[in-house]
Amino acid sequence: MTQLNAIMPGGGISRRSLHIFILADCSGSMKIDGRIQALNYAIASITPQLINWEKEQEQAQIFIRAVAFADNASWHIQSPEPISTFNWPPLSHVEKGLTSMGEAIRLVADALSPEKFEPRALRPVLLLITDGKPTDVDQFEIGIKELFANPVGKASIRLAIAIGQGANFSFLNRFINDADIPVMVAENADQIVVKLTAATLAISKMSSIGSDRKEVAEQVIMPEANELGVLDDDTII
Amino acid sequence: MSWVFSMMTQSSESTMEQQWYIETACVRGMFHDRNSLPLQDAILSFGDLYSKSGPLVLSVADGHGDIIHFRSASGSQMATRVALEVFQNHLADIKALEAKDLDLSAIEQFVRKNVVEEVVSKWKQHVMADLEANPFEDSEIEAMQTRPAINFEANPTIAYGTTLLSACIVGNLAIMIQIGDGDIVVLHSDKTVITPIPRDPFLVGGRTTSLCQKNPQKDFHAAVIDLRVRPIALILLASDGFGNSQVEPNWHHDVATDIATFSKNYGIEWVSQNLPLWAAQCASNDGSGDDTTLGLVLSNSIFDYIEEQT
């Protein structure tokens, strides 16, 4: 830590923010094989990893937000929660609930709009976890359009975890919109933790790669110990 | 580092001798240090190259940190030097335009067509000359190979990518140009604070417009202020390491007015001594951790700031 204590002009300084948005499927099928419980457990178990990473990299303050979607989508955690004090409030599946994935993407796209998203934040991370496909396909189309029309949404790192064989890769690939980054597949509830851990490592791998999505992809495919580095090395548009 | 310039400026009420002070600070970011990256920001003021009197120019450049811009530390230094040279070349032209009482939009057009065009072409010339003298080394070619989609052969200036912010005061005009991220903040003598160059909404997530891009002219911004109509007390030029450290999203007003208050209460010398500390705090892990550069152009009218306010 610096020992500098000069009186500064302005309202104070702080590290930049890294916002992680979790888009979590709570449709009826998430009750199969205890998927929703596994999802809750997985998110709770990656929290300490993110806390440690925040301490180690000393560059960014990590904040979590979450959207839950079933018959419709709503904020599960609307205000950015600092990872250092974060406790995951467990989600429940909605009995016979649909998969309003499009509506969820639209909520996040709106939160990333220039009027709402802090300009100095690092590129946000969007993590979509689902066992199905959108039942609101029209909203999905609008949501994807809104997300990529938004400069922050376009710049975001997008990852997707498909649970089981019911997830539709074509929709998830359109959400990721990067041929280098594959959908992570959790064959069963136990693998949700494994894949979410891989996703966390991929996020932390951003530390050593700046804006290179390919490195994120490699981390998704083959997780390895992350190195510390520069989170946001500027490059040209 | 500080410089003092004396100029005759025609105000709306009277002709008075106006004194301008330039204060600068440029600090390597903690994360550049950690990753063995050089200081990639650069700052240069007119007095560094020419006499310490007459018109003044201040330029700040922020070389991109990404691996593909492995010569951006040189690129940013070239950019600040070129901006000073080009403004110097056009000072007489700008004064002539001002004497013709052309409106500000005509002068801005001149700046875009001449100053900006020349900055772009001369920066490229400097880069190509450097490249001829120092061809890419094996390690640099390896860095290029990390991004096979980028055609370095077609555009080797990518290796030198940098932003550029410049402010020039000549006659009764303040002229500012900018490409890429960073901030130019103006505190007028009537206490209003403006950011004359609008923030490009697409400059997010470490993406920026750049001198090394294709057709950079189209992404340059320019602004001209008539000092007789809107006298200026302070111009702040900052690389994004400063703005990205600020907690307040709309920090420009508070930072500018606080600097004015400090200048009045503690003197320019105090500001000069503290400027590197402010930059260092932003460059530390308490702030953005990025290279941080601050350049101030202060008018002696800043000493009236608080007296008029109270």
Nearest CA in chain B to A15: B287
Integer Cα distance of B107 and A24 in angstroms: 55
- Domain of residue A68, residue span: 16-221
- Main-chain dihedrals φ then ψ at residue B10, nearest 5 degrees: -85, 110
Strand partners, A119: none
Structural domain spans, chain B: 22-309
Give the A-side interface with B, CB within 8 Å. Answer: 1-2, 4, 6-16, 58-59, 114, 118-120, 122-124, 151-152, 155-156, 210-212, 228-237
Residue contact B207–A210, C-beta within 8 A: no
- Considering only CB atoms, which chain A residues are within 8 Å of B265? none
Collect all residues with Cβ–Cβ distance below 8 Å to A14 and sequence separation of at least 6: A61, B245, B247, B286, B287
Report residue B164's pLDDT band, with 50, 70 and 90 as the boundaries: very high
Mean pLDDT of B184-209: 89
Please count the CA atoms within 13 angstroms of the CA of B35 that sit on its side-chain side.
28
Instruction: Give me the residue from A13, A16, A156 closest to B281, CB to CB.
Output: A13
**CB within 8 Å: B37 and A230:** yes
**What local confidence, expressed as pLDDT, does residue B183 receive?**
97
Work out how many domains chain A is built from and give that number.
1
Characterize the bridge pairing of strands B56-62 and B164-170. antiparallel
Q: How far apart are the CA of B117 and the nearest CA of chain A, in angstroms? A: 19
By CB atoms closer than 10 A (0-12, 13-18, 19+), residue B56 is buried
Q: Which residues on chain B are in Cβ contact (under 8 Å) with A58? A: 30, 285, 289
Q: In this structure, which topology does domain B22-309 adopt according to CATH?
A: Phosphatase 2c; domain 1 (3.60.40)
Distance CA(B127)–CA(B255), nearest Å, equals 35
Q: Which two tokens stand for residue B253?
A: 């007003």
Lowest-pLDDT range, A55-64, A115-124, A221-230?
A221-230
**Would A229 be classed as within a structural domain?**
no
User: Are A59 and B68 a contacting pair at CB < 8 A?
Assistant: no
CATH code: domain of residue A58: 3.40.50.410
Residue A169 neighbours by CB under 8 Å, 6+ apart: A162, A183
Exposed, middle or buried: residue B3 (CB in 10 Å: 0-12, 13-18, 19+)?
middle
Quick one: tokens of A4?
């500098």
Per DSSP (E only), the strands in B180-303 are: 183-188, 193-194, 207-208, 221-226, 232-238, 292-299
Q: What is the pLDDT of residue B66?
A: 85
Q: A10: which chain B residues are within 8 Å (Cβ-Cβ)? A: 246, 248, 251, 254-255, 258
Would you call A233 and B245 a contact, using CB atoms and an 8 Å cutoff? no
Q: Does the beta-carbon distance from A15 to B206 stay under 8 Å?
A: no
Q: State the best of B41, B66, B179, B204 to mutate against chain A, taking most chain A CBs within 10 Å.
A: B204
Phi, psi of A134, deg, nearest 5: -65, 135
More confident residue, A58 or A217: A58
Separation of CA A201 from chain center: 12
Contact B274 A7 (CB under 8 A): yes
Q: How far is B272 from chain A (nearest CA, A)?
A: 12
Question: Who has greater pLDDT, B178 or B54?
Answer: B178
**Which pLDDT value is given to residue A223?**
45
A109 neighbors A139 (Cβ within 8 angstroms): no
To the nearest whole angstrom, how far is the Cα of B269 from the nearest Cα of chain A?
15
Q: What distance in Å separates residue A41's CA from the closest CA in chain B?
A: 31
pLDDT in tens, B243-282: 999 999 899 999 999 999 999 999 999 999 999 999 999 9
Size of chain B in residues: 310
State the first-to-last Cα distance of chain B, in angstroms, to the nearest integer: 31
Share of chain B above pLDDT 90, in %: 69
Full-model pTM: 0.86
> pLDDT of B65-74, one tens digit each?
888 899 999 9
Chain B closest-CA separation from residue A97 CA (Å): 35
Q: Where are the alpha helices (DSSP H) in chain B?
A: 30-34, 72-99, 104-110, 117-133, 138-145, 240-243, 252-266, 268-283, 305-309
Alpha helices in chain A (DSSP H): 35-57, 101-111, 137-149, 151-155, 169-176, 189-209, 213-221
Taking an 8 Å cut-off on Cβ atoms, the answer to whether B204 and A229 are in contact is no
Q: Please judge whether B285 and A118 are an interchain contact, meaning their C-beta atoms are less than 8 angstroms apart.
A: no
Measuring CA to CA, how many Å separate B117 from each of B62, B74, B89, B120, B121? 19, 20, 13, 5, 6
Which residues from chain B sit within 8 angstroms of residue A109, using beta carbons? Answer: none
Please give, rounded to a whole number of angstroms, the shortest distance from the CA of A112 to a CA of chain B.
11
Q: Report yes or no on A22 lying in a domain.
A: yes
3-state secondary structure of B230: coil
Token readout for B148 is: 């096979």
| ipTM of model | 0.86
